[in-house]
Amino acid sequence: MNGGLLVAGTTSDAGKSVVTAGICRWLVRQGVKVAPFKAQNMSLNSFVTREGAEIGRAQAMQAQACRVEPTALMNPVLLKPGGERSSQVVLLGKPVGEMSARGYHGGRQRELLGTVLGCLAELRSTYDAVICEGAGSPAEINLRRTDIVNMGIARGARLPVLVVGDIDRGGVFASFFGTVALLSPEDQELVAGFLVNKFRGDVSLLEPGLDMLHGLTGRRTYGVLPFRHGLGIDEEDGLRVSLRGTVRESSTAPPVGEDVLRVAVCAIPLMSNFTDVDALAAEPGVVVRFVDRPEELADADLVVIPGTRGTVRALRWLRERGLADAIVRRAAEQRPVLGVCGGFQLLGEHIEDDVESRLGHVAGLGVLPVRVRFAREKTLTRPVGEALGERVEGYEIHHGVADVTGGEPFLTDGGGHPLDGCRVGQTWGTHWHGSLESDGFRRAFLREVAAAAGRRFVPAADTSFAALREEQLDRLGDLIEQHADTDALRRLIESGAPQGLPFIPPGAPA
């Protein structure tokens, strides 16, 4: 088998990432050596591979679904928004500069087509199958000329295309038909059919519509996936998603102790790797909520300031909203605060930034004895250390270099020598993303938080975040196996799009 498939979508957030992960997990359980691929990703949630390359977290999770180690080949182009109109371009895991959307789509993107096709070819030479994920919609007619992630990659590698539609939003039949009808004849040749996502109700009521869709397009539907809570993998588009008031889905198990623990996460601008708090939400009795008003911190047992692609901008936002004063008061009152990466940096005394905001010297919140200088070279590492007597693994993605001048070391090498971060009283700061996924450390940290907050909260002794992630990926594989036509899907991956698919007018504009 030397197959491939592009999972496209009628819209952003149609479920491409989840479906791709589900197909990957289903295939690997069938004994197929499979890898994920996304030519170009726009995301503020990223991950560091073993070789020190930065890729989207969704592709890292899809690699886990494949039971393989993620590499830069799986996401050769990563765009990290720094505002509404510009992004940092990360090529093969390393930042190569900032670029406006107009500049990127005006020529730079098309130049990368050879690079991404080369990465895909290398993966296909190593694996039995490569399951590719598109971005947004393949029918973005204004961007088709420079496309390298949807039909551009499908045409370049002759991949069959499966279009996913979110029926929970409504209008799925029009979206399926319109997506195909806005593609050129050459692109339409590769669109094999459709997959309905997030269906609620009796499938028999949907079948007449699917039959009519087949009659209109000549293309079949490969499955109808039911709506399931808690099946999303790590979100990508942190710039677009408003998390105001959002509660992260938590374990349904009741708290082990007498109290719950309330965690408030400041929904700062350009928030990155907010998935760090998922490990907290996985603990029975921990309620995680995103907030943007100072009064919402009052009853929180722990306040988390997450990472951001705009540390100085986030600092200004906190001050404008009154959150900065509330955080400083919490720290003075010895009420727990945790800053991660950019959140750690803005808790310090001052920031020297000639790279990200280019505003030079900016005063921090002054809660931690830390001075930060932004370097042009980005730190991309996968460190291992110890904190609170427990082993900790994490990953670092930052331009800021911290000079810690006091307090207690937060993360050490096990011999007492500081590795990263700082602690003063009940305020902690670290550059390490993912540290809370280390079960022993997370439990020890939550015990300290509960004691400081006066809560009779007890961490569950047997919560394994890695096991919960595996269970989630298996559920995605089950979804494909039980609700998709897997025989037809496997033929599609092995043999490509069916021959003789009809053209649906009007096609793409000239």
Backbone angles phi, psi at 350, to 5 degrees: -155, 160
Tell me if residue 433 is catalytic: yes
Give, for 351, the enclosing helix (H) or strand (E).
Answer: strand 350-353
Q: How far apart are CA 311 and CA 373, in angstroms?
A: 12
Decide the pairing of beta strands 390-393 and 384-387.
antiparallel
> Token pair 């730190």 is at which residue?
379
Question: Are 342 and 311 contacting, i.e. CB atoms less than 8 angstroms apart?
Answer: yes
Chain Cα centroid distance, residue 408: 32
Angstrom distance (rounded) from CA 184 to CA 139: 10
DSSP-based helix, strand, coil % in the chain, nearest 5: 35, 30, 35
341 has catalytic annotation: yes
Give the Cβ contact number of residue 438 at 10 Å: 24
Query: How open is the CA angle 366-368-369, to the nearest 5 degrees?
Result: 90
CA-CA distance, 281 to 469, in Å (whole number)?
13
Tokens encoding 206: 């949907």
3 state DSSP class of 95? strand
d(CA 360, CA 35): 43
Please answer whether residues 97 and 376 qualify as being in contact, where contact means their C-beta atoms are separated by less than 8 angstroms: no
- Residues forming a β-bridge with 161: 6, 191
* Active-site option among 398, 399, 431, 433: 433
Instruction: List the beta bridge partners of residue 287.
Output: 262
Q: Of these residues, 341, 398, 399, 431, which one is catalytic?
A: 341
Nearest in space to 17 (alpha carbons), one of 37, 44, 47, 46:
37
389: β partners: none
Buried b (16+ CB within 10 A) or exposed e, 50-68: eeebbbbbbbbbbbbbbeb
With contact defined as beta carbons under 8 Å apart, do 371 and 346 qualify? no
Both ends of the chain: CA-CA distance in Å?
37
Q: Which residue reads 């408030």 in tokens?
A: 264
Residue corresponding to tokens 């959150």: 323
Residues noted as catalytic = 341, 433
